[in-house]
Each structure stands twice: as C-alpha cells, then as structure tokens.
Amino acid sequence: MAIYHCSIRIVSRGKGNSAVASAAYRSGTRITNEYDGETHDFTRKRGIAYTEIILPGHAPREFENRGVLWNSVEKIEKQKNSQLAREIEIALPAELTQEQNISLVRRFVKEQFADNGMCADVAVHDKGDGNPHAHIMLTMRPLNPDGTWGAKVVKVNGRKTYPVDWDKRDNAELWRRAWAAYCNTALRINGHDDVVDHRSYERQGVEQIPTVHLGPVASGLEKRGVKTELGDRNREIAAMNSKLRQINARLKKLEAYKFELLQSPPTLYEVFSELCNQPPEKRGQSRKIADIKNMADMLLFFDKYGIETVADLTRVVREIRGNFDDVRDDLKKNERRLKTLDEHIKHSENFKSYRGYKAKYDKLYAEYRTLKKSSGLFAERKARKALEAANDYCEDNRMELTLFDAAEKYLKGVLQSRYDPKKLPPITAWKDEREKKTTERAALYQRYEKLKTETQNIEAIKRTIDQIIKTDEPEIERPKSQSRGYDYGR
C-alpha cells in the first residue's frame, strides 16, 4: 500500500546547518564550502539512485554545478542566522519502478518549484529496502533577470514587501496536496489502485488511530518475518481500529432503529419473558446456564441505565454512543502521546549512546582548525592530514554521528531553553510517563469491552422486540401461483 510522507524544513545557519554540507550529503558528493573553508566529502555514501539540478529558465547555466549553486547561496547570505535553503523530503510510492519514481519527482519539482523561479537540487535515495524517498533542496531568494540574487525583503514607501510568496504558510498545504495529486496520478497511469492522501485521519473524517512509523530497520526486519516492538504496536493498533469500526457500525444501526416510534411497543416484561421462555428442549445444560447469566446481566443493564420502557432504549443508545466517542477520542490522544514519548525516548537513548562519537569527531576537527591557523608548508600538510583523519572518522562512523546529530536537533526542539548538551535529557521521567500512559491505554481497552457488552445487550433486546412484533403481526394469506400451483408463502 502506498504511503504518504512530505515534510518541509528550513536549512538555517543559525541552527548550525550549511547548505553546502546538506547538498553534499544528499547527493553523495565532495564539495568545499567557500564560506568557512570546510570540505564535505560524502562520496562513500550508498543508496543514491539519482541526482539533478533543476533550474528556472533565467538561471545562470553554471548553477547546474551543485558546488557553484550552493556556494553562491552561502556567499550572498551574510547573517550568522541566515536561512539558506528549504528542504522537502517526500516518500516515493514503492509500487512504482525506480525510473517511474524519478520521472514523477522530476515532473513535480519542475512544475511546482522551478517554473515558479526556484533553483532545485534533487536527490533520490533507494537502498532497495522498500523505503524509496527524495530530498529536494530549494533556494529561498528570487533570481533577477540577469541571473543575480534578489533581495528576500524590500521596502516600498517605508513598508516591507516580499518579492516572492514562497515563505507563505499556506504554501506548505498547497505543496503537500500537490504531491498527493502527483502520486495518485502516477499510480493510476501505471495501473495501481492505491491512493494517498495528504490529510490526517482526523481531517479526512476517518475514525482511526494512526499507526506508528516503522523506519527502515524495523520495516526490513518485518519483511523478513522478524517481529519488532514497533510492528507489534502497529498490529495492536490495527486490531483496535478493526474493533472500533465494528462497534461504530453496530451503534449506527441501533441509532437508526427508532424504538420510540414503534406503533405497539412491547413492554419490558414481554421482552424479558421472551428472552427467558425459550423452549427448554432446544437448550442444553450449558446453554441454560449461559441464558441465566445473560438474564442477570440484562437486569443489571436495565438497572444501570434506569430503563423502564422500550422508549428509554433510544436514550441509552445515545448515551452509549457518547461513551464510545469518549473512549475512541481518549485512545487517539493516548496513542499520540505514546508516539511522542517513544520519539523522546528513542532520541534520548541515541543521544546517550553516540555522544562519545560526536566528542571524538569534534576533537579531531578541533585539531585541524588549530593547525589551519598555523603558517608554513609543514603546518599546512599536518592540517590536511588532520582534516583527512576527521573526514575518515566521520565516514567510518557515519551512522552513529548521523543518529547523534538527529537526536541533538530533536532534543533542542523539544527542550528548547532547557537543553543542556552536558546533561542527559529526562529519559527516566519520559519512561515513567510512558508506563503510566500504557496503563491508561489498558484501562481504555477495558472500557471499550464494557461498551461492546452493553451494545450486545441492546442488540439482544432489539432482536427480541423484532421477534415479538413479528409474532404479533397477523398472518397474511398469499395467493397460490396460477402457473405452478405452489404457495409463495412457504
């Protein structure tokens, strides 16, 4: 089944990002950043299926060189907190071939971004693990007709105006919706029935608990038949979603049944008697015991909801519906918080596990920076060797450093002013809250089971009412068939 993913972020110098470094990493190339003199070498990176620079018609042709393009961006931005680029990450439909996905991405980027004046750097990643995706880096300044960079903001009559509207908040929704439309068109053209939707379940009106993202590691293990904790979570959520859909459908049927509009509603005594007075010869001993238990449950049910007349059942159905909606909403909130806590804990543990790798890399790189300040041929050679050592260590420990960087960035966003690189994040507090939320989820499941039983009780009453009404109806004599001589009523 095709999945939808489209995330948008800003590459900002103020957050320690570099447009050159990002471009080199996404494309698996070696580029020197002329802004700070640092060389970023990611030529050993694997899984890069396709890269391309897609330009608007009036862009200088030399911008087709990735290093020239992003060094030009770094040069024009003077502020230490400048926004350098916009990056869009999109999941590609696994149902399509690699060539079809590349064609899909190129068409999307050209029509949505390049034709609107942005320079786009595209990198398609596909390791063959069922998680093909693309990174799209976009320039943020407008290009003048002569190929020079324009201003992001200009003053007209003392008021700030923006030459382009790329930073409008509404664009995120437009681009996300457009990507869903491009995906669905490509899937349909290539003979697939799957569709994706950029909206959340809540916006789609789908009463469903969202599953958690498996990620490439868990996804790969699941495909090989190895069960994972995240996979078990998704199976549990899928089972609960199935149960919620079933009880929701049953409640809708009960809501459509107008108890209070029955022309000759039976009394509750008649309903209860009908349930009790089943022919004994049709019931075995175990069935009789079960029926007695059901009758006791029914009496408790009548007492709990204050049911005195059949008309009261409409009120009870509404009450059960309200309780069901509360349980469903609480389950969704609970799962959202559990998902957030899982992310907190995952990144915290990565931060704890891999910060030693980051410290060693920083030490190696600091040695290079120190040597670089020295003069002389000997010092220059030592600096070059130190840089090579730092780059080699970075490449040999790419996964650990990447996980640490991702964890640090995530925790900075979560903790903000409380973030302290010398201290561990509050892992214990988050784990304690997760345990509490897991207990709450179990209690919500118990509430659901009670609602399911109460729904079954009303369904049993409804069936009995239907049986009584049907029994009380006068038998209609049907005419015999003239051609074959048999009775249609039989």
Cα four-point dihedral sign 375, 378, 380, 386:
negative
HSE of 399, CA atoms in CB hemisphere, 13 A: 3
Tokens of 167: 């930073």
Q: What is the DSSP string of 10-44?
A: EEEGGGT--HHHHHHHHHT-EEE-TTT--EEE-TT
Q: Which distant-in-sequence residues (6+ apart) come within 8 Å of 23 by Cβ? A: 29, 31, 66, 69, 70, 121, 137
DSSP string, 390-406: HHHHHHHTHHHHHHHHH
Asked if the model's pLDDT at residue 476 lies above 70, the reply is no
Give residue 487's identity as a one-letter amino acid code: D
Residue 141 has pLDDT above 50, yes or no: yes
Predicted confidence (pLDDT) at residue 486 exceeds the cutoff of 50:
no
Contact yes or no for 94/176 (Cβ under 8 A): no
Evaluate whether 20 touches 67 at the Cβ level (below 8 Å).
Answer: yes
Q: What's the whole-model pTM score?
A: 0.57
Counting every residue written for the chain, the total comes to 490
For residue 343, CA distances in Å to 237, 337, 356, 398 come to 17, 10, 21, 21
8 Å CB contact between 58 and 145: yes
Residue 303 has pLDDT above 90, yes or no: no
Nearest to 35 by CA among 84, 1, 93, 2: 84
Distance, first Cα to last Cα, the chain: 49
Confidence (pLDDT) at 31? 93
Long-range Cβ contact pairs of 261-269 (< 8 A, separation 24 or more): 262/310, 262/465, 262/469, 264/469, 264/472, 265/309, 265/310, 265/311, 265/465, 266/310, 266/465, 266/468, 266/469, 267/309, 267/310, 268/302, 268/307, 268/308, 268/309, 268/310
Report the alpha-carbon distance of residue 358 to residue 372 in Å, rounded: 21
- Give tens-digit pLDDT for 46-72: 889 999 999 998 999 999 999 999 999
Distance from C-alpha of 93 to C-alpha of 420, rounded to nearest angstrom: 40
E strand spans, 44-179: 48-54, 83-91, 120-125, 133-138, 154-156, 159-161
Q: Could you tell me which residue, 217 or 465, shows the higher pLDDT?
A: 465
Closest to 320 in 3D by CA, of 452, 441, 205: 452
| Spatial distance between the Cα atoms of 320 and 455, rounded to a whole number of angstroms | 8
The closest of 58, 65, 16, 59 to 38, measured between CA atoms, is 16
pLDDT value at position 227? 73
Q: pLDDT at residue 20 above 90?
A: yes
Q: How many CB atoms lie within 10 A of CB 469?
A: 14
DSSP state of 199: S
Nearest CA among 254, 213, 240 for reference residue 457: 254
- Residue 8: its H or E element: strand 6-12
- pLDDT at position 290 is 65
| Pair of tokens at residue 221 | 């293990």
Q: How far apart are CA 368 and CA 374, in angstroms?
A: 10
Mean pLDDT across 103-125: 94
Count other Cβ atoms within 10 Å, centred on residue 51. 17
Mean pLDDT, all residues of the chain: 81
DSSP secondary structure letter of residue 6 = E
Long-range Cβ pairs for the range 421-429 (8 Å, 24+): 424/348, 424/351, 424/352, 425/344, 425/347, 425/348, 425/351, 426/348, 427/345, 427/348, 427/349, 427/352
Question: What tens digit of pLDDT does each residue of 416-464 get?
Answer: 888 888 888 999 999 999 999 999 989 998 988 888 888 888 887 777 7
Quick check: 485 pLDDT over 70?
A: no
* pLDDT confidence of residue 396: 84
Is the per-residue pLDDT at 154 higher than 70? yes
pLDDT at 462: 79
Residue type, 124: V
Q: What's the pLDDT tens digit per position in 100-110?
A: 999 999 999 99
4 within 8 A of 91, measured Cβ to Cβ: yes
Estimate to the nearest angstrom the gap between the alpha carbon of 86 and the chain centroid.
Answer: 21
Residue 481: pLDDT over 80? no
Do the beta carbons of residue 382 and residue 390 sit within 8 Å? no
pLDDT at position 390, please?
85
Share of the chain above pLDDT 70, in %: 81
Most confident of the following: 207-211, 219-223, 414-418 = 414-418
Query: Measured between alpha carbons, how far is 250 from 245 in angstroms, rounded to an integer?
Result: 9
What pLDDT shows up at residue 459?
A: 82
Most confident of 129-133, 230-234, 432-436: 432-436
Cα angle at 212 between 210 and 216, to 5 degrees? 140
Cα 432 to Cα 441: distance, rounded to the nearest angstrom:
14
User: Which pLDDT belongs to residue 228?
Assistant: 74
Q: Which of 293, 414, 406 is nearest to 344 (CA)?
A: 414
pLDDT digits (tens, 9 = 90+) for 246-297: 888 887 887 777 666 565 666 666 666 666 665 555 556 666 666 666 667 7
